[in-house]
Amino acid sequence: MCKLLDETSPSTAPHKPYVAFRYANPLTEDTYKQLLADGFGGGNGGRAVAFTQYPQYSCSTTGSSLNELWKWRTRLEGKRNDGNVEPEGAIKWSVIDRWPAHPGLVEAVAQNIEKKLAEYPPERRDNVVLLYSAHSLPMSVVNRGDPYPAEVAATVYAVNQRLGMKQKYRLVWQSQVGPQPWLGAQTSDTVKEYMKKGQTDMLLIPIAFTSDHIETLYELDKEVIGEDAEGHEGVRRVESLNDSPVFIKALADIAKAHLDSGKACSQQMTLRCPKCTSERCLASKDFFQGQQKYLDAAA
C-alpha cells in the first residue's frame, strides 16, 4: 500500500507503515514507542495517520483502538496541563475512522464473490444464497447507539448493487459469546435453518473482516461449514480480501484522499453514541478532533 501511495501522493512521501494492536503484538504501546524512537515527536514533530482496518466503525473495535492510541499519546508525549497534552514537539495525528462503502472495497469483495459463484454449476448458480457474515455485538452496545450495524448493512447493500442484485442475500452475525442477548440472526443458526428448508447452496462472505484469522479459518470454515452444514459441498466461503491487488489499491486510494482532504477525522467520528457515558471516549474524540488546528497550522 505504501509503495502505491508513494507513487500517487509524492508530496507526502515517503510513507512508512506501522501496525498496532490492542491484544496482540505489536501492542499499541510498543508501536508508539517505536514511532518516537524513529524520530516522530520528542521535539521533532511529525505526521501520522491512524488508519483503521475495520471498514465499519464500532465503539468496540475502531473506537476502543483509538482510545488506546490516545491513552499512550497522553502517557508518552508532551506535558500534562489541565488535563491536556501540550502540542509542542508532538506527533500531529489524523484518523481514517471508517470506509464502509468505498468503491475499491466494494469492488474487491464483489470480485471475490463472482469468482466463488463461478465454481457452482450454471444451473445452480442463480439460486445460491449469499450470507454476509460479520462479528456480532451485544445488544447492550447496539442499543447504546453504536453505528456498526448500519455501516455493515451499507457495505452489504453496496456490494449487492455492484453485483446487480442478482442473488438472494442476508446479513448474518457470528462470534456471539456469553449468555447476554447479541445481535442476530447468528450465522450458524441461519445455515442450519436454511438447510432444514432445503436451501443447501449458500456462500459465506466475511464482510467485516479484511484478512483471514480465527473467525474465518476456524469459525466459518471448521464450525459453520464443517459442523453446522456437515461439510455439504453447496456451502462454501468466499476468500477474504487478504492481499487482493484491488483491495490494496483501495487502501492506498483511501489514504491519499484522506491526506488530500487535510481533515483530522470525519464528521461522523465526532458524534458520540446517544447513551455513551465513557469519559475516555469523550476525551479521545476531543483530542483527535482538536488535531485539526495543528494540521491547519502546518499546511
Pairwise CA distance, residues 65 & 278, whole Å = 14
- How many residues in total does the chain contain? 299
Is 221 designated active site? no
Residue 174, classified by CB atoms within 10 Å of its CB into exposed (0-12), middle (13-18) or buried (19+), is buried
Separation of CA 148 from chain center? 10
User: Cα separations (Å) of 190 from 73, 233, 269, 285?
Assistant: 43, 17, 33, 37
Catalytic residue among 97, 146, 201, 253: 253
The grid cell for 125 is 448458480
The grid cell for 44 is 521533532
The grid cell for 177 is 459469546
Is 253 designated active site? yes
Nearest to 32 by CA among 67, 76, 2, 1: 76
Q: How many helices (H) and strands (E) does the chain have?
A: 11, 8
Q: Give the three-state DSSP class for 58.
A: coil
Residue 295, classified by CB atoms within 10 Å of its CB into exposed (0-12), middle (13-18) or buried (19+), is middle
Would you report the helix, strand and coil content of the chain in percent, each value rounded to 5?
45, 15, 40
Catalytic residue among 102, 135, 201, 258: 102
Active site residues: 102, 253
